[in-house]
Amino acid sequence: MRVSDISVTAPQSFLRFTALLVSRRFKTLRTSVMSAIKQAALAALAVAAISTTAHAQTTDQWFVHAGPALVAPDESATMTAGGQAVPGANVSIDSRWTFEGEIGRYLTRNVAIAVAAGYPPTFTVKTAGSLSGLGTAGQMTGGPAGILLQYHFNREGRIQPYVGAGASFLVVFGTKDGVMTDLKAKSAMGTALQVGSDFMLNDRWGAFIDVKKAWVGTLATGSMGPNPVRAKVNVDPLVTNMGVTYHF
């Protein structure tokens, strides 16, 4: 082999080695860059999904509660007959199950106003106290309703408690005579407190439980025999409601 051949071959081998080394380094760098891009893209998608969920949870404007409710009166009464007070007279009102719904709208992030009402059940009103031997005074069809200002906690969580306060209404739709004839009862307005919680399954749907205490009464009039009767009845129901909630 001639010296000239060696002088030509050596640079060519060095160039090939250098090109191979650069090519391998470039492939490694390209793989690293692509991996970093993929990881960044996945992270961006995850952040976007979390942001979208949080946005959906905190921008809902309306909510609905619906389900069975137990209306349990905490009743008391004062009564006059023929214009004279009847000492020890009282009434007893049975509890009733009904269906109640509530719809509310958020005024701010945590403050909402809600309207609650239910299908009016028929309550049996029995004489009690000094009149307990007389039997059933009559029946009243009606029930409580309310307009409540609420404060909702933890709106982004799965468990979202709330409290409320406002006006309660006893809405009377009809009466039926018992030992009191020509029985009539008036609708009335009172106050109410509320405590409850939503248990969200996802951004829209969930379950709830809710307890409302109302202080409201009615004025009932009628007759017992020849005597006109007036009774001021404090119904003061405790309403326990549970069921399904939907936020939108």
Phi–psi pair at 219, nearest 5 degrees: -105, 115
Per-residue pLDDT, 109 = 93
Per-residue pLDDT, 47 = 39
Of 108, 74, 106, 110, the closest CA to residue 92 belongs to 74
Banded pLDDT at 125 (limits 50, 70, 90): very high
Higher pLDDT, 167 or 40: 167
Share of the chain above pLDDT 90, in %: 71
pLDDT digits (tens, 9 = 90+) for 88-116: 999 999 999 999 999 999 999 999 999 99
Helix/strand/coil for 133: helix
Of 7, 13, 121, the closest CA to residue 69 belongs to 121
76-81 vs 84-85, strand pairing mode: antiparallel
Q: Which residues contact 175 (CB under 8 A, 6 or more apart)?
A: 138, 139, 140, 141, 183, 184, 185, 220
pLDDT of 49 strictly over 60: no
Report the range of poorest mean pLDDT among 56-60, 210-214, 233-237: 56-60
Banded pLDDT at 2 (limits 50, 70, 90): very low
Per-residue pLDDT, 31 = 56
Region 54-69: mean pLDDT is 78
The number of angstroms, rounded, from the C-alpha of 45 to the middle of its chain's C-alpha atoms is 32
C-alpha pair distances (Å), 6 with each of 2, 3, 10, 17? 7, 5, 6, 16
Alpha helices in the chain (DSSP H): 3-59
Average pLDDT over all residues of the chain: 84
Banded pLDDT at 3 (limits 50, 70, 90): very low
Are residues 216 and 170 in contact, defined by beta-carbon separation less than 8 angstroms?
A: yes
Per-residue pLDDT, 36 = 46
What's the CA gap between 238 and 236, in Å, rounded? 7
Region 56-66: mean pLDDT is 79
Of 111, 67, 106, the closest CA to residue 206 belongs to 67
pLDDT of 238 strictly over 90: yes
Report the range of poorest mean pLDDT among 51-60, 68-77, 155-164, 225-234: 51-60
Tell me which amino acid residue 72 is.
A
Phi–psi pair at 137, nearest 5 degrees: -70, -35
pLDDT of 13 strictly over 70: no
This prediction has a pTM of 0.72
pLDDT of 128 strictly over 50: yes
The residue whose two tokens read 């309660």 is: 168
pLDDT digits (tens, 9 = 90+) for 150-200: 999 999 999 999 999 999 999 999 999 999 999 999 999 999 999 999 999
The number of angstroms, rounded, from the C-alpha of 106 to the middle of its chain's C-alpha atoms is 12
